[in-house]
Structure formats: C-alpha cells, structure tokens
Amino acid sequence: MPENSKKMTTLRPTVIALAYDDLCTFEFGVAVEIFGLPRPEMGENWYRFAVAGIDEGELRATGGVRILTEGDLSLLESADRVIIPGWRGPDAPVPERLCEALRKAHARGCQLVSICSGVFVLAASGLLDDRKATTHWRYIETLKARFPAIRVVEDVLYQDEGDILTSAGSAAGIDLCLHVVRRDYGMETANRVAHRLVIQPHRDGSQTQRVSRPVAQLRESQRLGQLFDYLHQQLAKPHTVDSLARRVGMSQRTFLRRFQDATGTTPARWLLNERLLRAKDYLENSRMSIDLIAEQTGFGQTATLRHHFRQRFALSPAQYRKRFAAFSL
C-alpha cells in the first residue's frame, strides 16, 4: 500500500467525480457520499467536490434516474483526485477526449481512483500498462484478455498503486474511498466517516471479494460484532483462537468458520492488520515512542513491529514517521 504524500490537513483537496450516460448509480453515490457530503464536524479543510459530465445534456443513470451536471471535463485541469465511478460496461468504448484528459491530469500529479468497471476507462487510457489493478470478479478475465499489459490482481477488494487506485465491485468502492480518506486525514477521521455511514471502519484491500456466505445466524453475527469492538479496544493484549472462541461461546472450528465468513480472513491476519493500522495512526498523530507504540499495539517488541511494518509499508516505523507525521519532528 504505497503512500506518497503527507496527509492533506491544511489544504482542501479537489475531488472530481465523473458522470456519463448510463451512469452506475451506486458507484457514483459512493463518491458523492464520501467526498461530496458536507461534513462541518471535520472543520474547514474537508474536500472540495464537483461533478464533471462526460456527455452533454441530461444523463441517464441506473434505476431510471436522470441527472444534469454543472461541470465538464475542464474540471479535471484543477483536480487533485478524479473518481471514475464504474463505466457503461467492459464493451463500451471510452472517448479519446476522456482518455486524454485523464492522461494530462495524471501527468501533473492528479490521483486517479476507479470503482468497479471504471477500471476499463483507466485501461483504455493506457495509464495502467505495467501497473497492478483490480476490478469486480466478473470482469477479471475480460480485463486480462483485453489489456494484457496490466498486471491484474485477482480477488482483492482494492489495489493501491499510490497515484492510481482501483477497486472491486460496488461496496468495495466504499472500502477504497475510506482508504483514501484514511491516507489524507488519518485513521480517526476515516473512522468517523465510517461511523456516520454505519459501516465497518476498515477492510484491508487484500481481503477476498468472494466471501462465500454471510454469518449464518443473527445471534452469531451480533456476538462477532461485539468481539470486533472488544478487539479494537484491546489490541495491546494477547489473543488466541481459543480465547476468542470462548469469548463468543463457540467451538474453535465454528469460530474460525464464522470469522472467515464475516471478514474474508483469519483472526491472526485481521489482528495483524488492525495493529499495523493503529501503529500507523500513532506514528502519524502522536509523539509516542516507537517502543511504546509496539507495546500499545500488541507487538510487544519493537523488532516485531519493525518487521511487520516494513513488510506492509516498505518503510521502518521511524522512516514512516519522518515522512508522514502530522507534526514536526
């Protein structure tokens, strides 16, 4: 998960969402909800948001909706980030003027984000050649066949290449957009946005798209929800499969199956990810020593934190703090 800039705490990044005829309503709504909704509780530095219409006149959207946009592709000239909320379909041609506008925006440092089938717009522009990207599992084989220069990553929720980010289908777009907020403003702000949306604060981009089935029973789902709350509050403590299974009143076998169903990953991997995110937040937003951060996040030894942190972020904790801390060292 590359990170290439300090959090945007003093500027208001300009986010432009694309709109087009046959617009994917849900994916577009995700972009509006995350970046376009006024959030006075966030202060004066929240995103500036606008919509750029690719096509002229009234645009049709999925579900019988019709919209009119006030902006056009000229908005991309001043965008800090462009959101491509789906596309008409993998077989639908992408206008060259749109490709050219995206290439120009990217060349001057604009970050590009696609949700679901929006990856086909980036693919058509050539900006994904020799880069990693993902999309909805239904489109994976089509993307690989039509754009062999792209290193398609299968069965992940989203792929972060720093300046270009791509997500799997629909709801994974929420995960990706929250990931962007987390990079820009930190974990606490992203968690507040997630809380307002009444969704899980974070799902790691590497989690599987193909969760086979939901948690089978409401009672078990509620118990797991309480367990997640407990673990977020007790990351510093040691946890085992046995202790967690006993806490929710399940056998180890049932617990592992239900946990996998609910999260797409194992308890150990989930805990590692949450601990790394907490450590990252401490490094960015506190002056806590790295030794204490290792203790407070459940890694215990600084060497253990350093090992896992470098594996995930390709930087040591000290290097990460020097580059991304919100305060002056």
Query: Is the domain of 235 the same as that of 319?
Result: no
Please give the average per-residue pLDDT across 20-45, as a whole number. 92
Interval 258-284: pLDDT, tens: 898 888 889 999 999 999 989 998 998
Residue 210 has pLDDT above 60, yes or no: no
Tokens of 163: 């300046």
> b vs e for 15-50, b when ≥16 Cβ sit within 10 Å of the residue's Cβ?
bbbbbbbebbbbbbbbbeebbbeeeeeeeeebbebb
Query: Is the domain of 189 the same as that of 223?
Result: no
Question: What CA–CA distance (Å, rounded) separates 273 from 267?
Answer: 10
Query: Is the domain of 283 the same as that of 248?
Result: no
Query: Is the domain of 226 the same as that of 256?
Result: yes
Residue with tokens 């960015």: 284
Residue 213 lies in a domain: no
Tokens of 55: 């096509």
For the chain, how many structural domains are there in total? 3
Domain housing 253: 218-264
Interval 171-180: pLDDT, tens: 899 999 999 9
Query: Is the domain of 40 the same as that of 181?
Result: yes
| Contact in structure between 14 and 71 (CB atoms under 8 Å) | no
Q: Which domain CATH number covers 317?
A: 1.10.10.60
| Contact in structure between 196 and 178 (CB atoms under 8 Å) | no
The residue ranking higher by pLDDT, 207 or 120, is 120
Query: Is the domain of 123 the same as that of 94?
Result: yes
Q: Could you tell me which of 182, 223, 221 has the C-alpha nearest to residue 203?
A: 182
Q: What is the pLDDT of residue 4?
A: 39
Question: What CA–CA distance (Å, rounded) separates 62 from 317?
Answer: 45
Residue 202 has pLDDT above 80, yes or no: no
State whether the Cα torsion 66-70-73-79 is positive or negative: negative
HSE (CB half, 13 Å, CA atoms) of 278? 21
Q: What is the pLDDT of residue 170?
A: 79
Tokens of 264: 């797409």
List beta partners, residue 15: 49, 81
Interval 115-168: pLDDT, tens: 999 999 999 999 999 999 999 999 999 999 999 999 999 988 899 999 999 999
Residue 52 has pLDDT above 60, yes or no: yes
Confidence at 47, pLDDT banded by 50, 70, 90: very high
Residue with tokens 């194992």: 266
Residue 320 lies in a domain: yes
